[in-house]
């Protein structure tokens, strides 16, 4: 289906669908009521007054708006597809499908590892599919009330999937996630209310055309909802807690798609935020998040937490682009979404697969993966290269981000420069860990199921392929979209694209590594100050005993400790949020 | 000028000049230490000799990483001297560096491993300054393109003094000089085991040496960018800088990595970011 939509938008501009019917609105309202009821019951069962309160507040507000406010909440067009939606749909469709295929194999393994728990796999897959449909709903909705409904459905799915294992930790983290997202949802409802009373429209396309002054307040509130959904500082801890969920959930909801819904919403309204003080404040929140989470990630040894921090950082970069809101920035932001979804999805799935073989999420345990699990290690290396190295995707977008910032706000680009250096550090460190092999290999890859391997392989190929195809995506989708918003378009110059492609071609020569090209090389043991022994991985100590040696990565704890930096980041972003609220009240 | 001519000249001249400069460096260093020193062409003799040696490896793949390191350094330099996008030059430079570091990791030897970790820390230390240099050049010339910057027709140094000083600060890292020669010392004057290159020998070590020449020329090329209207002044400053770095190399001992990271980020923050801050204020005042 997403392919079909993508093909449609390739030629035309945007399509709007009225899809009008009162029964659809009523159906959505009934579903919303049932959903609220379900969450309230769960909230009461686990004694979470905050959750119950938030759900009730939202429900009462939305009921009032829909039935008693005296305004007609009818939208002319409830659904639409434009190039941006089509890109999002492609991401959700392709990556979502691959992750679901992967989950089939993975959940079988997961069951073996968690024998004590009842088998709730049908429920798991049901949630995944409900979630995917809701995501399609979000990107295709033109009616903000409908978008709000789909938004809440994804929140609920995320909540239930985080709590899937039903351990105490999982339940606690699930409630933390839903609390934060419900606060975002509440902002969404308030935005709807203001929108209805001040402008009388609930359609995205109309909101984009009315005057900036009228649109800025609801857009700012919607952006706060977006910030909570994409786990920006100061509320990013829910995403870290969400890592207790099974890996396909982390890959699908918490890196590739659901958190992208938040940045999608903010990026949608980027043209409203452009050049406003509100936009600059939002951009600052993104920049601070990018810098601090990148630095903290250096000290992280837990693979999934590191990936979570890096996800938050990259979402921060997209928020930064959206806050700037110029055509160049939006171009960079959309590309970031595409590249990040692919590479990060791939990395999460790889880490999950390795975790089942090694029984650990520690990065230090992944030593020598290149010899013990060559396939998985190769996929991981591709994913990591895709995250930070030229000529791969994320670097193309980082180039564009810097270019966009330097015209508008050069000081922010300095923040990006520092954050980028931190990114470089922790990714290379991890790559090195995979490549390092002291002892002879033990094959551990045989029992990886076919579903897992195939979906990982496709994701890896796509990660590389997308770098070659990005000029095409840019000219067919992003540029027309920008043209419709800004009456001008941006891209990378042809010369730079050619240079990128040449570099990509050179990098692709790297698999030559497996060819035995020079037979004259001679193998020797590593230098150990003359204390080598016959057993690899050991040396002779001063008493003549064989003693194993080990190599560990630097974590730079004394500089970037989570305990030290996290509160500073939270403090800074709270100040920025307060500035946002002050701006809201002044207006 | 024809781009292919520049490319050919670049590929031939760079190793020649790089090698000669390294030879000169060794003579000056020797004189500073009251020695006579090797002949000027010694680096070329060294490389020729290394190529005739046996290729010893711990892990086979380690050599391929070094080949790619050299390859991407050549690409980076070509991009720079043929007038590419300076930001892309910085990114390609990082890519080349990453290959070197990964090669060090792949050897799976404890000494190389420490060297790789330190090289990585150094990279994190200088990377922001390079990007800030690009941003500063853009703010004064409105282009990232190297040729556009060179045809700016006005001296950039007065506006970019802070960035220039910040760039000088990180220069010893890339030139592998004290006090910032953590991962491997170029002249091995203060270490027992040769850091990240411990396990590289023979032809591969020769490639690393050539790679260093390319690196050196690229860095010196970046300094010229600050003097677009007067290349001769640029070259004179370059000689002074080259001498200064050697002098510092011979008067300072190696610092701890903590100090290196702290000092270079602080310098980047104060000199680089301060400069950019002043530039943006000037820009606002003008408009």
The predicted model gives A69-82 an average pLDDT of 73
The phi and psi torsions of A408 (rounded to 5 degrees) equal -100, -50
pLDDT band for position A5 (50/70/90)?
Answer: very low
Nearest CA in chain A to B87: A399
pLDDT for the residue numbered A3 = 52
Helix axes A410-435, A303-324, angle to 10 degrees: 160
Instruction: Please list every residue in chain A whose beta carbon sits closer than 8 Å to the beta carbon of residue B133.
Output: none
Which tokens hold the place of A104? 């089939």
Amino acid A34: pLDDT? 87
- Name the DSSP class of A141: B
pLDDT confidence bin for A480, thresholds 50/70/90: confident
For residue B265, list chain A residues with Cβ-Cβ distance below 8 A. 418
In eight-state DSSP terms, residue A12 is S
Residue B11 makes CB contacts below 8 A (sequence gap 6+) with B74, B78
- Nearest-CB residue to B107 (from A517, A526, A556): A526
Which of B91, B193, B258 shows the shortest C-beta gap to A395? Answer: B91
Q: What residues are paired with B56 via a beta bridge?
A: A522
Say what the ipTM of the complex is: 0.95
The pLDDT value recorded for residue A287 is 95
Across the interface, whether the CB atoms of A390 and B139 are under 8 A apart is answered no
Q: Would you give the distance in Å from CA A419 to the centre of its chain?
A: 17
Chain B residue numbers with beta carbons less than 8 Å from the beta carbon of A559 are 258, 261-262
**Mean pLDDT across the stretch B166-177?**
92
- Measured between CA atoms, how close is B85 to chain A, in angstroms? 7
Confidence band for A1, pLDDT divided at 50, 70 and 90: very low
pLDDT attached to residue A302: 93
pLDDT confidence bin for A73, thresholds 50/70/90? low
Higher local confidence (pLDDT), A512 or A305: A305
Comparing B274 with A76, which gets the higher pLDDT?
B274
Mean pLDDT across the stretch A68-76?
A: 65
The pLDDT value given to residue B10: 93
For A575, residues 6+ apart whose C-beta sits below 8 A from its C-beta are none
Confidence of residue B96 (pLDDT cuts 50, 70, 90): very high
Check whether the bond before A142 is cis (ω within 30° of 0): no
Contacts of A477 (CB under 8 A, 6+ apart): A6, A9, A10, A83, A84, A86, A87
Our CA-based measurement puts residue A241 at a distance from the nearest CA of chain B, in whole angstroms, of: 29
* Residues B60, A523: C-beta atoms closer than 8 Å: yes
Indicate whether A362 pLDDT > 80. yes
The average pLDDT across B101-116 equals 92
Cα–Cα distances in angstroms (integers) from residue A541 to residues A115, A437, B118, B195, in the given order: 45, 22, 25, 21
pLDDT > 70? residue A408: yes
A441 pLDDT above the threshold of 80: no
Nearest CA in chain A to B105: A432
The answer to whether the beta carbons of residues B21 and B44 sit under 8 Å apart is no
Please determine, for residue A516, whether its predicted confidence score (pLDDT) is greater than 80: no
* pLDDT classification of A496: cutoffs 50, 70, 90: confident
Helix B61-81, helix B3-32: angle, nearest 10: 110
Q: Which of the two residues, B272 and B190, has the higher pLDDT score?
A: B272
Q: Total structural domains in chain B?
A: 1
Residue A330 tokens read as: 């939006």
Beta-carbon separation of B128 and A421 below 8 A:
yes
What's the pLDDT at A519?
A: 66
Nearest CA in chain B to A295: B124
Alpha helices in B153-230 (DSSP H): 161-174, 202-224
Residues in Cβ contact with A497 at an 8 Å cutoff, skipping those fewer than 6 apart = A471
Q: List, as ranges, residues 159-218 from B with C-beta within 8 Å of A.
A: 193, 198-199
Give the residue-averaged pLDDT of B129-133: 95
Record: contact B112-A406, CB cut-off 8 A: no
Q: pLDDT tens digits, residue range A179-213?
A: 999 999 999 999 988 888 887 788 888 888 888 88
For residue B192, the model assigns a pLDDT of 60
Instruction: Reduce the DSSP state of residue A488 to 3 states and report it.
Output: coil
- At A95-111, the pLDDT tens digits run 999 999 999 889 888 88
Of B88, B109, B123, the CB nearest to A499: B88
What whole-number distance in Å separates Cα of residue B82 and Cα of residue B1? 10
Model confidence at B75, in pLDDT bands (50, 70, 90)?
very high
**Domain limits at B66?**
3-286
Q: What is the pLDDT of residues A313-324, one digit of tens each?
A: 999 999 999 999
CB A315 within 8 A of CB A336: no
Task: Give residue-wise pLDDT tens across range B28-68.
Answer: 999 999 999 999 999 999 999 999 998 888 888 888 899 99
**Predicted confidence band of residue A22 (pLDDT cuts 50, 70, 90):** low
Q: Kindly give, in sequence order, each residue whose CB lies less than 8 Å from that of residue A365, ignoring residues fewer than 6 positions away.
A: A358
- DSSP states along A151-170: HHHHHHHHHHHHTTT--HHH
Model confidence pLDDT, tens digit, residues A129-156: 999 999 999 999 888 888 999 999 999 9
Average pLDDT rounded to a whole number, residues A522-531: 83
Average pLDDT over residues B104-127: 92
Judge whether residue A349 has pLDDT over 70: yes
Which pLDDT score is estimated for A88? Answer: 93
Residues of A in contact with B138 (CB under 8 A): 406
| Model pLDDT, residue A471 | 87
Angstroms from B118 CA to nearest CA on chain A: 9
Chain B partners within 8 Å of A418 (Cβ): 128, 265, 268
In contact, A287 and A420? CB cutoff 8 Å: no
Cβ within 8 Å of residue B211, ≥6 positions away: B66, B69, B70, B73, B96, B100
Q: Determine the pLDDT at residue B42.
A: 95
Structure confidence at residue A527 as a pLDDT band (50, 70, 90) = confident
Contact A406 B121 (CB under 8 A): no
Cβ(A344)–Cβ(A387) below 8 Å: yes
Of all helices (H) and strands (E), which one includes residue A186?
Answer: helix A168-198
Q: A437: which chain B residues are within 8 Å (Cβ-Cβ)?
A: 59, 108
Which range (A69-73, A423-427, A463-467, B225-229) has the least confidence?
A69-73
- Res A198: pLDDT: 82
The closest CB to that of B113, out of A421, A431, A551, belongs to A551
């Amino acid at each position: 289906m997403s392919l079909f939509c993508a093909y449609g938008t390739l030629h035309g501009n945007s399509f709007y669908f009225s899809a009008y019917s009162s029964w659809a609105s009523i159906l959505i309202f009934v579903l919303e009521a049932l959903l609220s009821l379900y969450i309230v019951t769960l909230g009461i069962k686990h004694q979470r007054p905050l959750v119950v309160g938030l759900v009730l507040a939202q429900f009462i507000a939305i009921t009032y708006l829909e039935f008693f406010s005296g305004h007609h909440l009818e939208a002319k067009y409830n659904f639409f597809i434009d190039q941006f939606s089509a890109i999002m749909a492609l991401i959700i469709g392709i990556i979502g499908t691959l992750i679901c295929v992967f989950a089939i194999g993975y959940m079988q393994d997961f069951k073996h590892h968690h024998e004590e728990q009842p088998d709730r796999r049908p429920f798991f897959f049901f949630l995944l599919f409900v979630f995917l449909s809701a995501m399609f709903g979000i990107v295709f909705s033109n009616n903000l009330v409908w978008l709000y409904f789909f938004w809440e459905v994804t929140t609920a799915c995320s909540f239930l999937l985080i709590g899937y294992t039903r351990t105490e930790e999982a339940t606690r983290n699930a409630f933390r996630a839903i609390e934060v997202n419900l606060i975002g949802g509440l902002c969404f409802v308030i935005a709807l209310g203001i929108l209805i009373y001040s402008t009388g429209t609930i359609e995205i396309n109309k909101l984009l055309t009315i005057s900036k002054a009228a649109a800025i307040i609801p857009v700012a509130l919607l952006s706060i909802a977006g910030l909570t959904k994409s786990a920006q500082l100061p509320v990013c801890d829910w995403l870290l807690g969400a890592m207790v969920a099974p890996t396909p959930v982390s890959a699908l909801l918490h890196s590739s798609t659901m958190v992208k819904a938040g940045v999608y919403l903010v990026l949608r309204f980027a043209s409203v935020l452009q050049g406003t003080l509100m936009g600059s404040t939002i951009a600052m929140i993104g920049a601070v998040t990018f810098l601090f989470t990148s630095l903290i990630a250096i000290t992280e040894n837990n693979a999934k937490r590191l990936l979570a921090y890096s996800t938050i950082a990259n979402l921060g970069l997209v928020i930064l682009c959206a806050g700037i809101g110029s055509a160049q920035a939006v171009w960079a932001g959309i590309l970031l979404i595409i590249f990040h979804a692919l590479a990060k999805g791939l990395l999460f799935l790889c880490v999950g697969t390795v975790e089942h073989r090694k029984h650990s999420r520690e990065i230090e345990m992944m030593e020598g993966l290149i010899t013990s699990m060559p396939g998985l290690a190769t996929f991981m290396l591709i994913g990591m290269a895709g995250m930070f190295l030229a000529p791969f995707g994320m670097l193309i977008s980082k180039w564009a981000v810097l270019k966009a910032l330097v015209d508008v706000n050069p000081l922010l680009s300095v923040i990006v420069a520092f954050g980028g250096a931190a990114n470089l550090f922790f990714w290379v460190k991890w790559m090195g860990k995979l490549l390092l092999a002291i002892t002879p290999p033990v094959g551990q890859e045989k029992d990886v199921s076919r579903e897992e391997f195939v979906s990982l392989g496709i994701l890896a190929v796509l990660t590389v392929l997308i770098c070659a195809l990005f000029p095409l995506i840019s000219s067919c989708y992003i540029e027309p979209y920008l043209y419709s918003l800004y009456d001008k378009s941006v891209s990378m110059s042809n010369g730079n694209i050619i240079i990128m492609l040449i570099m990509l071609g050179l990098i692709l020569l790297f698999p030559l590594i497996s060819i035995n090209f020079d037979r004259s090389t001679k193998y020797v043991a590593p230098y150990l100050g003359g204390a080598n022994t016959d057993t690899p991985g050991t040396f002779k100590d001063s008493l003549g005993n064989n003693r194993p040696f080990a190599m560990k990565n630097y974590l730079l704890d004394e500089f970037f400790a989570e305990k030290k930096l996290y509160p500073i980041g939270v403090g800074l972003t709270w100040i920025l949020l307060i500035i946002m609220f002050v701006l809201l009240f002044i207006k | 000028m024809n781009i292919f001519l520049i490319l050919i000249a670049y590929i031939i001249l760079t190793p020649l000049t790089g090698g000669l400069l390294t030879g000169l460096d060794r003579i000056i260093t020797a004189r500073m230490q009251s020695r006579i020193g090797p002949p000027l062409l010694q680096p070329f003799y060294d490389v020729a000799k290394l190529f005739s040696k046996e290729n010893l490896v711990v892990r086979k793949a380690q050599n391929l990483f070094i080949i790619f390191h050299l390859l991407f350094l050549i690409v980076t330099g070509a991009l720079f001297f043929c007038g590419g996008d300076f930001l892309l030059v910085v990114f390609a430079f990082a890519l080349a560096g990453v290959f070197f570091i990964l090669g060090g990791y792949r050897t799976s030897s404890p000494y190389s491993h420490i060297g790789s970790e330190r090289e990585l820390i150094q990279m994190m230390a200088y990377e922001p300054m390079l990007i800030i240099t690009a941003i500063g050049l853009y703010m004064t010339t409105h282009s990232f393109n190297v040729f556009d910057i060179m045809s700016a027709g006005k001296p950039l140094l007065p506006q970019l003094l802070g960035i220039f000083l910040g760039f000088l600060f990180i220069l010893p890292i890339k030139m592998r000089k004290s006090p910032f020669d953590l991962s491997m010392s170029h002249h091995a004057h203060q270490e027992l085991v040769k850091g990240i290159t411990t396990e590289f020998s023979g032809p591969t070590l020769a490639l690393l040496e050539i790679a260093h020449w390319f690196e050196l020329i690229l860095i010196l090329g970046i300094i010229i960018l600050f003097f677009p209207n007067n290349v001769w002044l640029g070259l004179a400053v370059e000689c002074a800088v080259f001498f200064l770095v050697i002098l510092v190399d011979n008067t300072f001992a190696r610092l701890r990595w903590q100090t290196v990271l702290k000092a270079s980020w602080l310098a980047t923050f104060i000199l680089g970011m301060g400069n950019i801050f002043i530039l943006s204020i000037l820009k606002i005042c003008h408009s």
